[in-house]
Amino acid sequence: MGKTLVKRSYKYRFYPTVAQRMELLRTFGCVRKVYNLALEARSRAWADDRRHVNYSETSAMLTSWKKSAELAYLAEVSSVPLQQALRHLQSAFNAFFSKRSKYPRFKSKKRTRASAEYTRSAFRYSDGVLKLAKMTEPLSVVWSRPLPDGAVPSTVTVWRDSADRWFVSILVESVVEHHLPTADAVGLDAGITTLLTLSTGEKITNPKHTDRERKRLARAQRALNRKCHGSSNREKARLKVARIHSKIGDRRRDYLHKVTTRLVRENQAVVIEDLAVQNMIKNRRLAQAILDAGWSDLRSMLEYKCAWYGRELIVVDRWSPSSKTCSRCGIVVEKLPLHVREWRCRGCGARHDRDINAARNILAAGLAVSACGADVRPQQGSSPERAIGCEAGTARRESGGNPVLQG
């Protein structure tokens, strides 16, 4: 079996003292302030002079801001998280210029997760003891799982979620052994009633975590709406709502981790559809169900786990008529409404379950690309025998941590 050197983040919960809590809250506020000031300076420079401002210039600005009377408080916290905020802004602009994301936005005190990132010069870690800069006592971390033997943390990120829970994320480099090779491959069709339908015919249930807490959540939200804005009772009610949401999110991530780990362990190749989740959630009737299913998190987990463990992830074009194509003879039906869950092929007479048929077509399209290494795009006038191989849409492979390879 092969091995891969990867960067892995280990997340732990910790309980800060009163002094640590105050220091971290000040640091969070300064990080947000520096990020917003730098973004404003870069935006103004472009609007006034059509001039690009880089990281080095914003770093010099930070030095001058600390010396000013108005922003002197920036010098009271560790300088490393502030420099990291400028680096994050530079990364955001790089992503914008390469058309991978939208223009960077200002950080909001209420809507942005409060966090701070420390590099090696701003923390000390030894034998389960983690101490951050500007703090006299180590963090009271709950070490729910050990770090890899001999691992040296490169960065430590501290944040507080909306439910007032404190977490620390430790980034380390570790060696991951590949899973034993297997000849199995599986196609996945994502859904709402059923989370995943496999090309083997198996259907993985969607737990619908939000539905389990819907009554408690609705009751807590009604209580929140009755409280006066700015009152301490409203803050207590807000925390109660946030804790319910955090419980739902924890359950969803735990379930997705278990499902994706099993799929990657059992199959050498995993084939999925390139779903446009951001466009699909614009449908008000389906948005909540789609977000509760966690399709984006599912794909993200499959991507990095396949890269870690030596598996191949193949992504099939979203425009592939996987549901309307007969997986036996390749004939494509003109219309197939969503309420039709089973249908019979007019060519070969085969009776199909809509989701299982789609998963089999997704697998066939992915294997075609994996075998021939060429784009698989719809062809007008193609024969039924070529329908799956040439009408299943474009696919691409993502494996070994390499950039996405067009087939």
SS3 labels along 150-161: CCCCCEEEEEEC
* Cα R_g (the chain), whole angstroms: 25
Catalytic residue status for 40: no
Distance CA 76, CA 79 (A): 9
Biggest CA-to-CA distance, the chain: 81
Strand, helix or coil at 105? coil
Catalytic residue status for 235: no
Which of 317, 355, 391, 398 does the annotation list as catalytic? Answer: 355
Which of 273, 303, 312, 317 does the annotation list as catalytic? Answer: 273
Distance CA 270, CA 338 (A): 25
Distance CA 77, CA 32 (A): 13
Distance CA 365, CA 380 (A): 17
Catalytic residue status for 48: no
Beta strands in 85-122 (DSSP E): 114-119
Strand, helix or coil at 242? helix
Which of 23, 117, 189, 398 does the annotation list as catalytic? Answer: 189
Partners of 12 in the β-ladder: 168
Residues with a known catalytic role: 189, 273, 355
